[in-house]
A = this chain, B = another copy of it.
Amino acid sequence: MKLYEYDAKEIFKGNSIPVPEGSLISNPGDAENIAGKLGTVVIKAQVMTGGRGKAGGIAKASNPKEAYKSAQRILGMSIKGLPVNKLLVEEYKKPDKEMYLGITIDRAAKCPLIMASPEGGIDIEEIAKTSPRKIVKIHINPLTGIHDYQARMLANSLNKNKSLMIADIIKKLYRVFIDYDCTLAEINPLADAQDGFFALDARMVIDDNAFFRQDFREEETGSLEETAKKNGMSYVGLDGDIGCIVNGAGLAMATLDLIKQYGGEPANFMDVRAGANEEQMKIALRIVSSNKKVKAIIINVFGGLTKCDEVARGIIDVIPEIKAPLVIRLAGTNENEGRALLEKYRVTLASSSEEAASAVVKLGNSDR
C-alpha cells in the first residue's frame, strides 16, 4: 500500500527525520490560517500519483491570501483522474541543494538497497538514465541491519562536509523502512536548506503482506479492486472491454495476453486464486460484470484445488444477472462434471485457453 505524502511525513517526524512544519487541510480557509503562522508556504495536493507538480497540484504562496487562492484552486482539481480532497500546507524551505535518498528491495540480491544521489527532485529512474554514475548504491544485510560505515559512505557521496547529519538521516530512514515493513521508503528531494536538512517529499510503500503486524488500514474507495481484495481476489482495472476471470495470477496474465494476441482488449485482470469455490466465482462474476464497458466475459479455470463443478455452479447462479456473453473454459479437477452442468445454458464452452480467448474476442467485437 502506498502512503500519502502527509502520512509518510508524519511517520518520518515520529522517527526524527526532519520534515518542514505543516498541516493537512481540506478547505482554503485553513490554508490561509496556516500561512499566517508559517510565512511562505508550499501547498501540495494529496493524491496517490506522481507528476503532481506538472499537473499544477503544487503551489508556493508567500502570503495568506495567496495561500487561500492556491488552496481553493487545487482543491477543485483532479489529477490523473483523482479528485484532490486534501492538501498539505507546509513551511517553505529554500533548498540550496536537492538530493535523492531511497531504500527499496533488491529482488535479485534479496536484501534492502539504499540509493543516494546528489541530484534529487526528479524520479530515480530519470536520474538513472541521465547520470547513473551519480547514484551510489549499497546493499544492506537484513540480519545485521545498516552499519555506521555504510551510512557514512552514502552520506559522503552526497556531501562530505555534512556527512554526519546525512548519515543520521539515512540510519533513521532505514529504521523506518524496517519498522514499517516498507518495500519503498524515499526522500526525494532531501533538501540541504539554511537551517538543516529536510525531507521535502516523502514516499512510503508498505508491504500488504505485513498488515497483520502493521497498523495501517487502506482507504475505503469502494473500487472494484477493493471489493475483490476484501473477498480474497486480485482485480486490476484495464482499458479494454473483455472481462476476465481466471484462477491463478500467471494463467490470468497468460489469458490477457492471448486476448490481445487475438485482437481484443482486456477490461480487467482478475485472479480468483487457486482455491476458488462456488461463492467466490459468483462474487467474481458480479465484480467483473459491474464494469459497464465489458462486452464479453471469459472465465478460464484450471482446477487443482479448485473443483470445476463448483465453479460451474457458481456461474450458473449468476447467469441470469449477466448481460454480456460468457465464454467458459474449465480444465482439471471435475472438468467433465463442470462442463456437463453448463451445457444447458447459453454460454460458449471452450476446451483450451487459446480457443476461449479467440471466442471471447469474437463475441466482444460482434455488436449485439
| Smallest Cβ-Cβ distance to A145: which chain B residue | B143
A366 CB–B CB distance under 8 Å: no
CA distance A144 to B144 in the complex (A): 8
Proximity string of chain A (125-167) to chain B, C-beta cutoff 8 Å, 1 when within and 0 when not: 0000000000000000001100000000000000000000000
Which B residues are CB-close (under 8 A) to A144?
143
Q: Which residues of A (81-129) have their CB < 8 Å from a CB of B?
A: none
- Looking at the assembled complex, report how far the CB atom of A38 sits from the nearest CB atom of chain B, in whole angstroms: 37
Q: In the complex, A144 Cα to B145 Cα: how many Å? A: 11
What residues of chain B lie closer than 8 Å to A143, measured between beta carbons? Answer: 143-144
CA distance A144 to B143 in the complex (A): 6
Residue of chain B at shortest CB distance from A143: B143
Per the bound structure, the CA–CA distance linking A143 and B144 in Å amounts to 6
A144, closest chain B residue (CB)? B143
The CA of A143 and the CA of B142, in the complex, are separated in Å by 9
Give the Cβ gap from A238 to chain B, nearest Cβ, in Å: 41
Closest to A141 in B: B143
Within 8 A of B (CB), among A55-86: none
Q: How far is the CB of A142 from chain B (nearest CB, A)?
A: 9
- Minimum distance in angstroms from A205 CB to a CB of chain B: 25
CB distance from A148 to the nearest CB of B (A): 13
In chain A between 244 and 292, which residues have their CB closer than 8 angstroms to a CB of chain B? none
Provide the bound-state CA to CA distance between A143 and B143, in Å. Answer: 5
- A143–B140 CA distance with the chains assembled, in angstroms: 13
Minimum C-beta distance from A63 to chain B (A) = 48
A112 to chain B, nearest CB (A): 15
Give the distance in Å from the alpha carbon of A143 to the alpha carbon of B145 in the complex.
9
Least distance between A212 CB and chain B CB atoms (Å) = 14
Distance in angstroms between the alpha carbons of A144 and B142 in the assembled complex? 9
Query: Closest CB-CB distance, A213 to chain B, in whole Å?
Result: 13
Which A313-336 residues sit within 8 Å CB-CB of chain B? none
How far apart are A111's CB and chain B's nearest CB, in angstroms? 13
CB distance from A144 to the nearest CB of B (A): 6
Which residues, 207 to 224 on A, are CB-close (under 8 Å) to B? none
**Chain A interface (Cβ < 8 Å from any Cβ of B):** 143-144
Of the A-B pairs whose beta carbons lie under 8 Å apart in the complex, a sample of 2, sorted by A's number, is A143-B143, A143-B144
The 2 A-B pairs at the shortest CB distance, nearest first, are namely A143-B143, A143-B144
